[in-house]
Structure 1
Amino acid sequence: MKPTDFAYYLTNFLSKHLPGIEGCSANTISSYRDAFKLLLIFAKDKEKIKEKKLNLSVIDKDFIIRFLQWIENERGCSVITRNQRLAAVHSFYLYLQGELPDKMYRFQQILSIPFKKQPAKTINFLSTEAVKALLCAPDTGKKSGRKHLMILGLMYATAARVQEIADLKVSDVMHNSCSLVKLTGKGGKSRFVPLEASVSGMLCQYLEDFLLTGSFKMTEYLFTNHSQNKLTRQGISHILKRYSDMVRKKQPELMPETISPHCLRHSRAVHWLQAGVELIYIRDLLGHASIQTSEIYARIDGEMKRKALEKVSSYAFAGEIPSWQKNKSLMAWLKELN
């Protein structure tokens, strides 16, 4: 059976263009692949078009709009997810413009579909007391407990993304006696994050306990599952949920109902800010490309705002309440004035 033009160009886009020309990471390619898996499901279930019949001529602007509506309305996905799927479609059609310039007008109609404005997201972070309770939850008398403590402790100490922790290899922590960790984030960009002495000592002990100190172990993953395979993002999320549930059961006021690995990243950033670390350094530690991305942490801590306002106040509020504030009617007070 002869492949369709859609199948031909999508295969080249995912297997050659993205990794070879664009230099995209495996995570980006995986995300784009998932978007087109959904598009194939939509075409089959909703448009009644089988894979072997799906050609580029079938997919127009209205088709993509219906696909995006299906993602939101029937699959219950958020605006963020909808926009991520649209980003994958946009990237594919930008590629197609170069391959099939005679169809550029049709492709540009699809590229004109805008991203949806998404509501400002609320940044959830834990108090220092909650983080302490979380890190005290694993049973360090057990080997698995020590591993889980190391995962959670390192994720918080470095403010790492969950995938950055999953991708860590032994060679990434063997810098300056385990006092530096090399994290590789979005776009394959790497950064070094210093560790406090207590965390560095715990990391050195972990390497010894799990027999990861030999030079021949450098290429092995730092954290593995029971099958000795690389720990996944889902596995790390499961570990975090297990111990956050334990804390919530004992101290419900400390732990929010839902918590994700990214919450630990937010928490560390806020705690750095509260400790007086300058925002420009926090940007570098988090691996943000722009300081504007990091500024969100300066806006979410109410206590810091209050203290900042007190410092710049050039006057003191009077202890006596003005007489009009004691009355229910401001108008009545105004009428009494001569």
Structure 2
Amino acid sequence: MRSSYPNTLARTVRSFFSEYLTEQRGVSRHTVLSYRDTLILLLRFVATSQHHDPATLDLTAISPEAVLAFLNYLEQERHNKTSSRNVRLAAIHAFFRYVATHAPERMEQAQRILGIPFKRTRTGTIDYLEEDEIRAVLECIDRSTSHGRRNYALLSMLFNTGARAQEIVDLNACDLQLDTPPQVTLFGKGRKRRICPLWPQTAQVLKQFSEEAQLDMRSNTPLFRNQRGQRLTRFGLGYILSKCVQSAAVKCPSLAKKRLHPHSARHSTAMLLLKSGVALVDISHWLGHVSVNTTNRYASADLEMKRQAIARAGALANSVTPPRSWRCDTSVIEWLATL
């Protein structure tokens, strides 16, 4: 006898994406696409490993063992990093939290899958540009061309705001305020809105750029466009930054030793603000961090600040008389020996 369609898995997947994520949670389009890609990979893997037609899969096929095998497949065969593996697992967890509340007969299965832990990842060093390196990158841009002037305005905005790449390319002309006080409205993760001040030099560059591009500052026209007149993508932004860094490395060799990407500009802005004496709480608001704990890592990233701390600690240590060794207290040693 043929099974009835749609089955529990099909109904749950449909309601998870069309109702729960978009209407109830209101998550961003990027989150929806990330969750979708994860489930596509998972369902394809389960169907292939169990020799099933993907259209016939039901929730029972996605067992905890199948999820663990899928995670191993991501790392061993697709060569995903641990961080990517954890992103996929987070999407699976989100789906099965929904399953637990909408298909209570699958509660045990959902709980076992939710019990699969994330892997610990290594925290790498933060690559960022020093102030002279930022200046070298901007100075290498040929501003005699329209594309060069666009790139100069683009990177000036990037280093000023410390915005995420997607936040920059999503900017519209109406998001800019170039009159006093100059500022830009950014929309970050979770569609959170924040206002970031612009330095006078950056505001002047953007004013000249907008006038040349004949932008209507009250419209939703993309602020930065590519050669085809379409909105610049974050991949286009990465390409422009990479080309500028390569050109600047000729006069600033230290750039050639660094592995830089658009997010490095965000780190660079944070470090520049930190060295200028701006408090971590204010930097957190500037960057749009949910928690100041995310910003705290910048406090331990700068080597020069570490050297100054060691120098201060060294001067203090030299003035303190070291205490007598605890080994001189034989009574403690004798007591420990009796334990």
- TM-score with structure 1 length normalisation? 0.88
| C-alpha deviation, 1:222, in angstroms | 0.9
Change (3 A) 1:170 1:76: same
In the alignment, structure 2 segments of 5+ residues that lack a partner are: 320-339
Q: Deviations over 1:113-143 (max 9, x none)?
A: 1111111222111111211111122211111
| C-alpha deviation, 1:106, in angstroms | 1.1
Alignment of 1:1-338 (within 5 A): 2-174=5-177, 176-177=179-180, 179-215=182-218, 218-311=219-312, 315=316, 317=318
CA contact (8 A) 2:141 2:148 kept: yes
Mapped to 2, the partners of 1:229 and 1:214 lie a distance apart of 17
1:254 maps to amino acid: L
Residues matched between the structures, number:
316
Helix, strand or coil at the partner of 1:57: helix
Helix, strand or coil at the partner of 1:141: coil
1:296 maps to amino acid: R
1:183 maps to amino acid: L
Mapped to 1, the partners of 2:274 and 2:23 lie a distance apart of 39
Change (3 A) 1:267 1:214: closer
Mapped to 2, the partners of 1:233 and 1:10 lie a distance apart of 30
CA contact (8 A) 1:4 1:52 kept: no
| C-alpha deviation, 1:188, in angstroms | 0.9
| C-alpha deviation, 1:235, in angstroms | 1.3
Helix, strand or coil at the partner of 1:255: helix
Mapped to 2, the partners of 1:192 and 1:255 lie a distance apart of 34
In the alignment, structure 1 segments of 5+ residues that lack a partner are: 319-338
Between 160-169 and 238-247, report the one with greater CA deviation.
238-247
| C-alpha deviation, 1:4, in angstroms | 4.0
2:77 maps to amino acid: E
Mapped to 1, the partners of 2:215 and 2:193 lie a distance apart of 22
| C-alpha deviation, 1:47, in angstroms | 4.1
Mapped to 1, the partners of 2:235 and 2:53 lie a distance apart of 32
